[in-house]
Structure 1
Amino acid sequence: DDPSLERHFKGHRDAVTSVDFSLNKKQLASGSMDSCLMIWSMRPQMRAYRFMGHKDAVMCVQFSPSGHLVASGSRDKTVRLWVPSVKGESTVFKAHTGTVRSVHFSSDGQSLVTASDDKTIKVWTVHRQKFLFSLSQHINWVRCAKFSPDGRLIVSASDDKTVKLWDKTSRECIHSFCEHGGFVNHVDFHPSGTCIAAAGTDNTVKVWDIRMNRLLQHYQGNAVVNSLSFHPSGNYLVTASNDSTLKILDLLEGRLLYTLHGHQGPATCVAFSRTGDFFASGGSDEQVMVWKTNFDAADYGDVLKTQKSGTSVEGTHHSQPSEMECGVHLKKTKPQDPGRNHHHQQEEETIANTLEHIVGQLDVLTQTVSILEQRLTLTEDKLKECLENQQKIIQNKVN
């Protein structure tokens, strides 16, 4: 089935900047240029909460993994941690010397990473909001920073046209990806933690393998891409663009699956729910929209069939893959015939045996080198001793 618009929420008085689902999908948080944080209930007839506390635009929001807290970052340079209930209690701390563009919890909920126009990325403890360290190699505004699923890495995107990968423990920049031709608006880790995707003002979405630092896929659109989100399966990516559309990309096939029209004006943010059966989007039209995914459960062949027909359903619109040029694809492996398999097995066994032999020889070499080193050390020690004795004899003669 096609993705369908489930419901839309109106309540913000300015452009929506950020959306995020709680773990149990009962709540949806959104931030806006109107300085408010809204907590929408996914249950019908339940009232929304409007949280006011920030003195300027709210640029980013995120639920903690447990769903007990919501973090928000603002143009007022502060970060607030809210309890998403009626009272809307919050603790506030001054995080940066510039606009806070991004907040993100580590998967264990213990740490928070923030990114700012002051060109830095900072890491904090969630408990007591203790500052831990700062990462500062970007030379322009940092738009986004995220923890890897295992919490060992941090990825950041900046107006300096780079995406940087950091080691959280050593606090060093491991790699800079410089392929973007414009500002990089958003970046995120693939659920597996092996890839990252970034969206930019050069109208592209790029996917890199961070194990080899290799560009895997490149999607060329025709409008600035503001935000993206991976489906939890890792097979799909949804993007939000300035041309008011949301696009669903199929990462396995390396192609565009759907183009969704709903927002009037730029679509500014998008996020899948934790289970992937819904995604939410926000726009400069002050609206928050919730979409039912549908396609992830559909038979794959059916999706492709309907895509070719180019039908339009409930405001959703299938578009031909030609709308986006796809770069390198993640190829699927083809089944091979049994005869070839047997031949392959034999070849593999031969290679394995050869490798084993080489490894054995290397071990012998290593041991030999080790013995030689020991002998050299002994010889050096003896020489040293001889020289010292000689010097003593000479000194005695002189005396």
Structure 2
Amino acid sequence: MTSALEDPSLERHFKGHRDTVTSVDFNPNMKQLASGSMDSCLMVWNFKPQMRAYRFVGHKDAVMSVCFSPSGHLVASASRDKTVRLWIPSVKGESTVFKAHTATVRSVDFSSDGQTLLTASDDKTIKLWTVHRQKFLFSLNQHMNWVRSAKFSPDGRLIVSGSDDKTVKLWDRNSKECVHTFYEHGGFVNHVEFHPSGTCIASAGTDSTVKVWDIRMNKLLQHYTAHSAVNGETLL
């Protein structure tokens, strides 16, 4: 007998974007899905059929990344218009705008306590922001090319980032220092992710590989080769 995991079926179909969908994220309450698109819109879809979807308009260019806060009460979007916006996913209204990047913002992530926002950009920087005071905190600046992805560790103490400079960097949030650089990728690094345990990181790249490192020993644990460039939305 074939299991459901081996033979998946389409559960829901959401249609409303006018161009390529670039990013999706589930609300932790599992009642909503957010999506970003090249059509410059953020959409929030409700799983209950009787509840309408919300289209959020405000970005002036493509939305590259979307992320719900841990509480599910906010959703962040990063855009090619060089800004990040914060929205309330149940109210179709104005958004809070974060401006400090000087190029496309590729990635956005919340800390596990929901207090800090992390962004990565083509301006070669990673930036941190306070969510409630809506203030820019500081930048991490050692990448030599576009930064495509940055994520907090589960405990919020560390940050991992992946770049077109073909490196993955591990940062200490408190000291603001790069504590290790991984050079094993042969191409651009499109996506990075922490394991829920916080002891491992994974990265995906245009060299058609997914790599997994143990950050306690800074040792490469696994190396997977794909058929083409890996653009992972979620690893681990």
Q: Is TM-score (shorter-chain normalized) higher than 0.5?
A: yes
Residue equivalent to 1:383: none
RMSD across aligned positions (CA)? 1.0
2:82 alignment partner in structure 1: 77
Deviation by residue 1:13-44 (Cα, 9 ceiling, x = unmatched): 11111110111110000001110000011112
AA aligned opposite 2:227: N
C-alpha distance in 2 between matches for 1:228 and 1:22: 15
Say which SS state the counterpart of residue 9 (structure 1) adopts: coil
Structure 2 CA distance for aligned equivalents of residues 127 and 211 of structure 1: 33
2:150 is matched with which residue: 134, 145, 150? 145
Distance 1:201 1:42 in 2: 34
1:228 Cα shift?
A: 4.1
**After superposition, where does 1:236-275 map in structure 2 within 5 Å?**
237=236
The corresponding residue for 1:48 is 53
Question: Which one of the candidate residues 113, 121, 126 is aligned to 2:126?
Answer: 121
Aligned twin of 1:65: 70
Q: 2:164 touches 2:189 (CA, 8 Å); kept in 1?
A: yes
Equivalent residue in structure 2 for 1:20, among 11, 25, 29: 25
Q: CA deviation at 1:107?
A: 0.1
Q: State the partner residue of 2:161.
A: 156
Partner residue of 1:339? Answer: none
Q: What fraction of aligned residue pairs are identical, expressed as a percent?
A: 81
2: distance between equivalents of 1:101 and 1:228?
A: 12
**TM-score where L is the length of structure 1:** 0.57
Q: Deviations over 1:76-100 (max 9, x none)?
A: 0011000111423311121300000
| Letter of the structure 2 residue corresponding to residue 123 of structure 1 | L
Q: How does 1:342-357 map to 2 (within 5 A)?
A: none
Note the alpha carbon deviations across 1:143-167, whole angstroms, 9 max, x for none. Answer: 0111100000000000000000000
Cα distance in 2, alignment partners of residues 219 and 228 from structure 1: 16
Which amino acid in 2 is paired with 1:91? Answer: T
Residues 41, 48 of structure 1: 8 Å contact kept: yes
Q: Which has the higher strand share?
A: 2
Determine the C-alpha separation between the residues in 1 that align with 2:70 and 2:154.
11
Gaps of 5+ in 2: none
Q: CA deviation at 1:46?
A: 2.2
Q: Which residue of 1 aligns with 2:193?
A: 188
Aligned counterpart in structure 2 of residue 215 of structure 1, from 220, 232, 236 = 220
Distance in 1 (alpha carbons) for counterparts of 2:148 and 2:109: 12
Bigger Rg, structure 1 or 2: 1
Match of 1:370 in 2: none
Q: From the superposition, tell whether residues 139 and 28 of structure 1 become closer, same or farther in structure 2 (CA, over 3 Å).
A: same
Q: Which has the higher contact order (CA 8 A, sep 6+)?
A: 1
- Aligned residues of 2:55 and 2:92 also touching (Cα < 8 A): no
TM-score using structure 2 length = 0.95
Q: Which residue of 2 aligns with 1:206?
A: 211
**Alignment of 1:2 onto 2:17:** no
CA contact (8 A) 2:31 2:48 kept: yes
